Homo-oligomer: A and B are copies of this chain.
Amino acid sequence: MPTPPYRQIADDLRRRILDGDLPPGAVVPSENALVEQYGVAAETARRALAVLAAEGLTEARRGSGTRVRSFRPILRQAGKRLAAEQWGSGRSIWQADLDQRPMTVDRATVAEQPCPARIAESLGLEEGAAVWVRDRRYLVEGVPVMLATSYLPAGLVAGSAITRPDSGPGGTYARLAELGWAPVAFREQVRARMPLPEEAEALQLGAGSPVVLIVRFAFARDGVPVEVNEMTLDASRYLMEWEFPA
């Protein structure tokens, strides 16, 4: 069972990319070039390039060419407790942009809706109970990087700024604190998979970019759940970090 030609070509190109022979931004040989170079049919060359695109290593633009993608992630830090001066080593295997690029929001919608079943259970509500739903899309340097939908029990937040698009300084959690429901603990559940078409469209994902799904549960005193936040991240743009004691 010899590896088929399209796979061999893909392996060649992949090694050139990983070796740095084809650095980020470099132009990958075109379909026609591969046809000549390897003596295969156009469709076979096309398949080879499709493999790399599916792995997220390259990005093709019709009419222009195929280029090597770069990975320059945004650092998302959760549960940051460790002082930088003392715990400085172990900084980053993958260098991430520590200088925070500003994150902006577009497409924000806020509405009162009946609670979906899966959320209701987490919030300790009945299915269909009223919740305020805050839906947002976040951009960094103009490109969408994250979708977030958070659910808050209407009984807790009715009348507050949480029910308005601009929740004010400090955001939702500051308002919750003013209402006497300051979050004291968080639980985040994380998984990764390939995006659905609507997710790929909303995040402008190229082929081969997985998404990371994070569901954050926020708890106030006595373990009262006050928020569930479902986030969808472009995995190719994020480096996530959690810290916790032994």
Contacts and interface: CB of A to CB of B under 8 A. Distances in A.
Interface of A: 11, 14, 18, 54-56, 73, 78-79, 81-82, 86-94, 118-119, 121-124, 173, 182-197, 207-208, 210, 212, 215, 217, 219, 222-223, 225, 228, 230, 235-236, 238-246
A192 B212 contact: yes
Contact of A87 (B55, B92, B187, B189): B187
Contacts of A122: 89-91, 93
Contacts of A210: 192-194, 210, 235
A242 B190 contact: yes
A92 B215 CA distance: 9
Given A11-B197, A185-B87, A242 B239 contact: no
Given A86-B223, A193-B210, A235-B210, A185 B228 contact: no
Given A93-B215, A210-B235, 13 more contacts: A14-B196, A89-B223, A93-B228, A93-B230, A173-B246, A183-B246, A185-B245, A185-B246, A186-B243, A188-B242, A188-B244, A190-B239, A193-B235
9 contacts: A56-B193, A78-B242, A78-B244, A87-B187, A87-B219, A90-B122, A93-B189, A188-B243, A190-B241
A185 to B, nearest CB: 5
Interface of A is mostly: mixed
Contacts of A230: 93
A185 B82 contact: yes
A91 B225 CA distance: 11
A242 B240 CA distance: 12
B194 A55 contact: yes
Contact of A54 (B93, B121, B194, B219): B194
